[in-house]
Structure formats: structure tokens, C-alpha cells
Amino acid sequence: MPFEPGEWAPLGPAPGMVYSRFPKHRRGETGVPAAPVIDVTDLTKRFGDLLAVDRVSFALAPGEILGLLGANGAGKTTTLQLVLGLTAPTSGRIRVLGMDIEKKRRAVLQRVNFSSAYISLPTNLTAWENLLVFSRLYGLRRARAKILGLLERFEIPHVLNRVVGSLSSGQITRLNLCKALLNDPEVLFLDEPTASLDPDIAEKVRCTLLDIQHERHLSIIWTSHNMQEITNLCDRVIFLARGRVVLEGGPQEILDRTRADSLDEVFISVARSGNLHLPAVEATAPASAGIP
């Protein structure tokens, strides 16, 4: 299947290279704001004396892409693990698709999925064998058609019968994305999904993910250290430092509030100080995140 940017509009000085989503409406027919697909309240996680996540609150709206940002060790990975139910919180509440993650984890995991550039699939199986195993775990019907369609969409149909251990890091990343989309998730967690990709393939992957997100009204939590990517893709971003939310808002809103030239500048300030030291930033960080 040829690369099709679809309905995404080019931005910036190189037409056709960077894409941004058209605005989405997140209100029901009555005009009432839709219920969040993820609702996190006062989430805290301690590992002995280490406070990894410190009273984090945020919500993810239906069809929203939320950037979860911060330096290494800021608490992003632990927050994702908590929301996915991979580790139990010390305190706080997590609801995913209206369900308590601790009580309904199996039901939640049937309707969400996760992909990371840093997690590989079993290397002794072929791409086909890996995806077929996951298809059966997800109870997928017509698995062959779904697998072939996703491989085609991410431009890797030629790896179908190759052992994963022989694939490049970029091919494995795209194979992981195919795995994450097999069950048609309502919520997708993407941990640096373009980190191992060259600029050309990374842009194609971004556009493919955005097309799929648009088609399915998919909600996404996206982590990345590429601030240009975050600026162009995300409806809203949250900066974490030392396990706390220190700044939240739309990318342009944050730039306006901080008078920074780019999110890179904001990221560096947060990473180096654990807080914000930009002249126009408000003195207090938001206590919680709402749905726009």
C-alpha cells in the first residue's frame, strides 16, 4: 500500500514533510464534554525511599493525543506502568474506559495496547508467527487479513516470513506497532515510537499513526524526546519532573505562557532544574489536568 498522508495538512518550510491534525470535536451530540477514557487522580508510587510518582493527576479525552514528557527518570515510564496495571500504586485512583484498573485489569487490557521502541518481540520467531500468536491471544477473527493489512500499511510486508532477530531496529519498531494495533484498541500507549527510525520512515510512521487515529477516533498517550514531533502531533502535553506534574497545556499555550521559542527550551529548563525557570511561567504548577 503506498504511503498516503490522507487528511493531514503540511506545516513548516518543507511542504509534505510535517503533518498536523485538523481540530477534533470532543463533545457529544448534546454538547456535554465526553467522559475521559483515562482519569488519574493523585497517583503516587514509592519504591522504598524513592518517590517515583508524586500525586500525579490528569485525564485523557476521547480522540485526544496527550504528550507525556520529561527527562529520563522523571516518572514517565512508571506512570505508564501504573496506568496499564503493570505495577500497583502506593495511593491514588486510576480509571481506564470507566473501569478501575486494579479491579478490572483484564477487561481494560482487552481494549487498550502498548508499543515501545525499546521492547522487542521474541527474536526466534518470524514476524508472522509473532503476530499470529498475539492475534490468538486477542481472540482476533480473520487474523491473516488483519496482519497483512497492517504490515502493508507500515510498509514492511516483506518481513512477513523473516525471523525477528534478523530485522533492523526500525523494522522491529514498525512490527511492534502492528502488534499494538491488532486488537483495534480504543486507547494506545506509545513509548517513543519513532526513536529508532530514520527521518523519512519516522515521518511516514507518524502520518500512518495519525491517519489510523483519525479513522478510529483513537486516544493516544505519546512519549517522546523529539519536541518538534510533540509540537506537531499532540493536543496537550504534560511535563513531569521528579515524579510531579510541573506544566500542562496545549503546545502553543505552553509556548505562549512561558514565552519560550520552542518546547525544547521548556524541556531543557525542566530537565536541568526539576522545575521551570522561564520568566513568564506562572509561579505554581497545576494541581491536576482536565480535559480541554
Condensed to tens digits (0 to 9), the pLDDT of residues 109-142 reads 999 999 998 888 999 999 999 999 999 999 998 9
- C-alpha cell belonging to residue 253: 499555550
Domain 35-111+228-292 has CATH 3.40.50.300: yes
Helices (H), 71-112: 76-83, 105-109
The residues, any chain, with a CB within 8 Å of residue 98's CB and separated by 6 or more, are 35
Three cell numbers at 74?
Answer: 522523571
- Over the chain (292 residues), the average pLDDT of each successive run of 10 is 32 34 41 82 96 96 96 94 95 97 94 92 96 94 95 97 96 97 97 94 96 96 96 96 94 93 93 67 45 40
Contact 190, 223 (CB under 8 A): yes
Chain centre to alpha carbon of residue 181: 13
DSSP 36: P
How high is the pLDDT of residue 273?
81
pTM: 0.83
pLDDT at 274: 74
